[in-house]
Structure 1
Amino acid sequence: MIHKVIDRLEELIEIIPPKLTEINELNFSFKSSPEKWSKKEILGHLIDSATNNHQRFLRAQFENSPTIWYDQNNWVEKSNYQNIDKQHLIDFWTNYNKHLVHIIKSINVENLKNKCKTKDRSDLTIEFLICDYIEHLEHHLEQIIPQKKMKIQKAELTDNEILTQITKKSKAYWGFSEEVLTEWEHLLIVSKKYIEENQVYKLIVENEPIGYYSYFTTDEKSVKLDNLFLLPQYIGKGFGKVLMEHFLNEVRNIGINRITLDSEPNTEKFYNKFGFFKIGQFESSIKDRFLPIMELKLDEEKNVS
């Protein structure tokens, strides 16, 4: 997984600076309101993020779970990014991320499990922080340079086959054997009946469905998030966050205050980021492989920055 993250960061370092350079100074410095960041300030915030994660990636290797966080609004304000030369910021961001690639490549595999604390979070592994850094980076780059035309809308009955393919490909991404995937075949099918009986929303990018989520009510104030899947090429690029934020807004709007889900072990930390906590577990069809049962109470949720 970490190799894919490194590859993605190197790709961004290659393709993003020319696109930033193309933005004229007026657009780059424009603020829609005094409290909103300009594109220039968003890029400055990404430099601040790189600075703080640089410390996390290094210090967690030799300190015992150091606490490292930053007040992002004050960092942007006191750095006065709005009045710095645009090309200086672009070059600084580019070179800092090249250095982070070097740092990440130099981390011993066993040290990826070392932990670090942030302001509102319990111990997080270096591996998680690296993945989260890239997701946060892409989220803000999308604000500076909109990359994709996307929308989320209710799935139609005729979407069942494409949603089934998304489910199967997403499961395969996590390295399950062909034997296991074949055994799970009946569980990975999204039928027309399923779409009709549950709340199913698809994420469309450039007119193509690339992911979806589904949920159903368990009582008047509770729902269960049943599925959340993306095509492999979109995993780890911020689209999971897009789906989760849409889902959370959707259930808030209908007065829901409790959400449960059965997570895969490899996605548990993704849900942690939205305030879900493990409340139990059960054994899957694979012997000695346990799936976390997770819960979020909406009035207690926390966000990770």
Structure 2
Amino acid sequence: MRLRPARPDEADTLTGVAMAAKAHWGDDPAFLAGCLEVLRVDRSRMEIEPHVVAEQDGEVVGFYSVQLDGDPAVLDKLYVLPAEMGRGVGRALWAHMVAALRARDLRAVTLDADPHALPFYTRMGARQIGEAVSEVDPARRLPRMRFDLT
């Protein structure tokens, strides 16, 4: 597996990875349809925010993106194709992100986790600090997580 910066022409591929990962958990099709706009990877943001892909045999199998507007940074997306879940791709992406943010001397990163991904982020060392309202379904609450980089 190789980690590398994402290219703007891969925006649709990354959106597909995010949607496949989200669909893996069996959420309602109407909810998933609503997720598309939230999960869509925007080419223009790729030019100003770090987007890193995990590539296996020439295929994108996962990625992350980070917003660097302040400290803490915000993990915007971290998704892995379902067939690659549990094989270290997410862990490798997380470790890469942590190292990159530490190199920028940031103190922490926050994220709003999909409830299905809460065990992963907890294993990575993030802790829940509150809740956020889902952009797709206002009745759905997302665990707000923080990982200290220092």
Q: TM-score, normalised by structure 2?
A: 0.92
Structure having the higher Rg:
1
Establish whether residue 218 from structure 1 lines up as the match of residue 76 from structure 2. Answer: no
Among all aligned residue pairs of Structure 1 and Structure 2, give the percentage whose two residues are the same amino acid.
28
Residue in 2 aligned with 1:132?
A: none
Deviations 1:80-113 (A, max 9, x none): xxxxxxxxxxxxxxxxxxxxxxxxxxxxxxxxxx
Deviations 1:209-268 (A, max 9, x none): 11100001132x421111000111001221111111111111111111111111011111
Residue identity in the other structure for 1:260: T
Relative contact order, higher structure (CA 8 A, sep 6+): 2
SS at match of 2:125: coil
Residue identity in the other structure for 1:156: R
Residue in 1 aligned with 2:97?
A: 247
In the TM superposition, residue 279 of structure 1 has moved relative to its aligned partner by: 0.7
Q: TM-score, normalised by structure 1?
A: 0.47
Residue in 1 aligned with 2:125?
A: 275
SS at match of 2:98: helix
Residue in 1 aligned with 2:143?
A: 292
Structure 2's unaligned 5+ residue stretches are: none
In the TM superposition, residue 287 of structure 1 has moved relative to its aligned partner by: 5.5
CA distance in 2, matches of 1:183, 1:297: 32
In the TM superposition, residue 191 of structure 1 has moved relative to its aligned partner by: 2.1
Q: Which of 159, 171, 175 is equivalent to 2:26? A: 175
Counterparts of residues 30-179 of structure 1 (less than 5 Å): 150-179=1-30
In the TM superposition, residue 196 of structure 1 has moved relative to its aligned partner by: 1.4
Q: Which of 89, 97, 112 is equivalent to 1:262? A: 112
Q: Which of 60, 69, 73 is equivalent to 1:209? A: 60
In the TM superposition, residue 153 of structure 1 has moved relative to its aligned partner by: 0.6
Deviations 1:149-199 (A, max 9, x none): x11111111111111110111110011121111122211211211211311
In the TM superposition, residue 286 of structure 1 has moved relative to its aligned partner by: 3.1
| Structure with the largest fraction of strand | 2
CA distance in 1, matches of 2:94, 2:18: 16
Residue in 2 aligned with 1:231?
A: 81
SS at match of 1:233: helix
CA distance in 2, matches of 1:297, 1:151: 26
Count the aligned residue pairs. 149
| Structure with the largest fraction of helix | 1
SS at match of 1:218: coil
CA distance in 2, matches of 1:261, 1:209: 23
CA distance in 2, matches of 1:151, 1:237: 14
Establish whether residue 194 from structure 1 lines up as the match of residue 66 from structure 2. Answer: no
CA distance in 2, matches of 1:259, 1:180: 27
Residue identity in the other structure for 1:261: L
Residue in 2 aligned with 1:143?
A: none
Residue identity in the other structure for 1:238: G
